[in-house]
Structure 1
Amino acid sequence: MSVLVVGMSHKSAPLEVLEKVALDPTASIKLSQLVLETPFVTESVVVSTCNRVEIYVEAERFHGAVEEVSRLLAEHADLGRDEFVRHVYVHFDEAAVAHIFGVAAGMDSMILGESQILGQVRDALLTAQTESTVGPALNALFQQALRIGKRGHAETGIDRLAPSIVTASFAAAGDIVDARDTRFLIAGAGTMAKLAVRTLVDRGVDADQIAVANRTYERAQDLSIESGVRAVRWEDLDDELAAADVLISCTGANGVVFDRPRIEAAGRPQVLIDLALPRDIDGGVRDIDGVSLIDLVVLSKLTENAELAADVKQVRSIVEDEVRTFLVAKAASQVTPTVVALRTMATDVVDAEVARIEARLPNLTADELASVRQALRRVADKLIHTPTVRVQQLVDGTGSLTYAEALADLFALDQAAVDAVTRVGGEQA
């Protein structure tokens, strides 16, 4: 059993392709369940953000799992084989572990070091737990990834460039965000909208200058009660747009919400911030005089800052160390059932021989029988000592699992016994 990830991100695909593979929460759950129904897959977690869609699975067979998971993702996105293959990436085993650890640490983000990804990875795990698509293997992997992400932010200054996509977009917008009388309109009331509201309020923006519109008015009201901003009805969106200096759109809609005619009708200079995938705002609005559009295309051009070089190096070192530690622990957990099964087999052989001797030599005293049993156990212990020590030594190397399998075969261990030890160990953990 090994971990496998199949995905696309801003690093592998243009925004036009990412829009096709984008998943809303309901679609993420459905895809994760479909993946779990395929052969060779025992666990699944889907990570879907504004700049990535990744499917993590615990797989029994690499090639079979890759084919099935890739097929489902391509079908969801309605992508032809050539286009899909051109933009998809696949990581397996150690590379997959390193990838999720790097993602959680913000090393693979559109904005280097952004911490928002930690919450998104956590949400993906919680969803998988709620939907029962995750098991002990991916649960352990994601929990460790979250710890590594927190460690990277705690021990370095990796998030100095921007702690989130929201703050990066505000930085790109310039002084208007912090101007005293700037009026904001936020379209949407989900996680990104809540983050935008919280960030603006933390920067000193008066809550009365922030309006939130959502198709479901009750959700806008919830955000209003939570933060003091104004909740407005979706049918009043155009009136609010005409009064706003900055539009922040993150609706999660399947198509464009703000097309060129709608923005032109507002009839005023504006900064438009599109944080949605698929995009909410028509890219053609860039041609309108006085209108500035900041979207994921703009944000993706932000590169590593030279002053972060030392932090980047340190976080990469943390990730590399943690990958080694995780793989050693995983190897040990896979080897232990084989060692336990071997020792159990040796004990059973000794007990059987003592019973045979007792039946053939009924006149042996209890002390004599105990001496025979002790002698047989010493012989058995000596015979299995070297292979069990050797397999434990090999845990630190790449061949530990192969050696465990060879050991099981060499001693003709009952695979059911090894599996039973594995199950018991998993239940106790």
Structure 2
Amino acid sequence: MHIAVVGLSHRTAPVEIRERLSIPEQTMEESLHILRGDAQVLEASILSTCNRLEIYTLLRHPEQGITAVGSFLSQHSGLDFGELTPHLFTYHHEEAVGHLLRVASGLDSLVLGEGQILSQVKKMVRLGQEHGSIGPILNRLLTQAVSTGKRVRTETNLGTGAVSISSAAVELAQLKVGQSRGLDDLVSLEGEQVAVVGAGRMSRLLLQHLQAKGCRALVLLNRTVSRAEALAADFPELPVQCRPLEDLDHCLSTCSLVFTSTAAEEPIIDAARLEGLNRRSSLKLIDIGVPRNISSDVAGLGGVEAFDVDDLQEVVARNQEARREIAAEAEGLLQEESRQFLDWWDGLEAVPTLNRLRQQLELIREQELQKALSRMGPDLSARERKVVEALTKGIVNKILHSPVTHLRAPQPRQQRHQSMKVLHELFALDEPSGEG
């Protein structure tokens, strides 16, 4: 068996590639079913966010298993595998474990230390468990990744004041508004007419940060107005107008700053839509949805500036340096957690040997027990027979205790292999047992 991860992220692929591989929650069960349908894939789990798509697997054979995962990605995205290859990374065993722990801890995020990724890893575990795509190996690894992410945030200051994709988007808006005023700095958004499209988790964070950065009123649009109203109710100090998505054209005509964060599979704003509007002012569009909510063709329109998640690098770089020393401290914890999982994984190698040894001793016990009982004659009571049987089982367990403890203990792999070899030779574990 072999642990591997195949994926791509903001580090390896632009948003136009990432959105082709995005897997929404409503199709996650089908995707996991397709992966598990290949004989090479024993266990599988998928992490799909705006900045990454990663498939964690337990494979029978590494090369054939990776080929199966690659075929799935090609089929799902509609891209030839050759087109995908330059953007994909593949990590095996120890590297795969280390990568997952870094992801869960926020060390591989666009925004170093951001907290939302931990929730997304938790969701990956839940979906894998609900859809039965993960077994004991990935379940152990993924749950340890969640606990590691919590530990890093508890024992270091990495999560203190950590910004999110949403807060970076608001900072980008401040920077671009400042630049339009001839300033190269972050400015208040007090005078901007702001709209937010979508009422999910990312939009909640947008409202939180917009309020903190000077926004005094905004329009919140959503397909379901009642959901927008429920979100707005959590921000009583920020006047929010809740409108149906059908009012999007009006907002695009009157607002100067529009954020989009919806689960739409296709763009909801494109050049044709904007060209048909009588806009009152220049318009800045900031799209943090993947797949993108704003078509790339709006970039050529006069008076319109459009930005997506890849453009957040401009503001993220301003905040990263101060967090790098804290990240270095967190790396030490990750090495410890990685070693703990790998020791457990290595210990699994000994299970077949220990099972064979137990079977061998159990066979000897039963044979010798029957011999002893036959010599004691028919006068032995049922209680006495149970006592004798318990005695023989206790002896076997005592004999097994030392090799079991030794082989499961953390140790170099070569040392464990040598111990297993000695057991096989001493107890003839590879040979059928004769009658004693």
Query: Same fold, TM exceeding 0.5?
Result: yes
The equivalent residue for 2:307 is 294
Partner SS, residue 396 of structure 1 = coil
Shift of 1:8: 1.3
Q: How does 1:22-421 map to 2 (within 5 A)?
A: 22-159=22-159, 162-174=162-174, 178-201=188-211, 205-206=215-216, 209-227=217-235, 229-263=240-274, 265=277, 266-288=279-301, 290-300=303-313, 302-303=316-317, 305-333=320-348, 335=350, 338-339=353-354, 342-343=357-358, 345-356=360-371, 359=374, 391-392=407-408, 395-399=410-414, 410=425, 411=427
5+ residue gaps, structure 1 = 416-429
Deviation at 1:167, TM superposition (A): 0.8
Shift of 1:314: 1.0
Q: Percent identity?
A: 28
Are the aligned partners of 2:59 and 2:65 in contact in 1 as well (CA < 8 Å)?
yes
Aligned-pair CA distance for 1:268: 1.2
Partner Cα separation in structure 2 for residue 316 and residue 5 of structure 1: 20
Distance 2:420 2:375 in 1: 37
Q: Specify whether residues 170 and 377 from structure 1 end up closer, same or farther in structure 2 by C-alpha distance, changes over 3 A only.
A: closer
CA deviations on 1:151-178 (whole Å, 9 max, x unpaired) are: 2223333346852111112122226574
Shift of residue 286 of structure 1?
4.3
SS at match of 1:6: strand
**What do the CA deviations read for 1:32-70 (whole angstroms, capped 9, x no partner)?**
121122213233221100111111123333233222222
Q: Which amino acid aligns with 1:355?
A: Q
1:289 to 1:152, Cα distance in 2 relative to 1, 3 A = farther
CA-CA distance at 1:289 after TM superposition: 5.0
Deviation digits for residues 5-46 of structure 1 (CA, Å, limit 9, x no counterpart): 121112222222212112222233321121122213233221
8 Å contact kept, 1:391–1:400:
no
Give the distance between the partners of 1:3 and 1:32, measured in 2 at CA: 16
Q: Which is further off, 131-140 or 353-362?
A: 353-362
Amino acid in the other structure paired with 2:156: T
Amino acid aligned to 1:391: L
Please tell me the root mean square deviation across aligned C-alpha atoms, in Å: 3.7
| Ranges in structure 2 where 5+ consecutive residues have no aligned partner | 178-186, 432-436
Secondary structure in structure 2 of the residue aligned to 1:174: helix
- Letter matched to residue 327 of structure 1: L
Of Structure 1 and Structure 2, which has the larger fraction of its residues in helix?
1
Supply the distance in 2 between the matched residues of 1:374 and 1:215 (Cα, whole angstroms): 71
The alpha-carbon distance between structure 1 residues 350 and 238, as it changes in their structure 2 partners (threshold 3 A), is same
Quote how far apart the aligned CAs of 1:332 are. 3.2
Once the two structures are overlaid, the 10-residue window that deviates more, 221-230 or 267-276, is 221-230
CA 1:312–1:194 in 2, change beyond 3 Å: closer, same or farther? same
Mapped contact 1:152–1:315 kept (Cα < 8 A) = yes
| Paired positions, count | 407
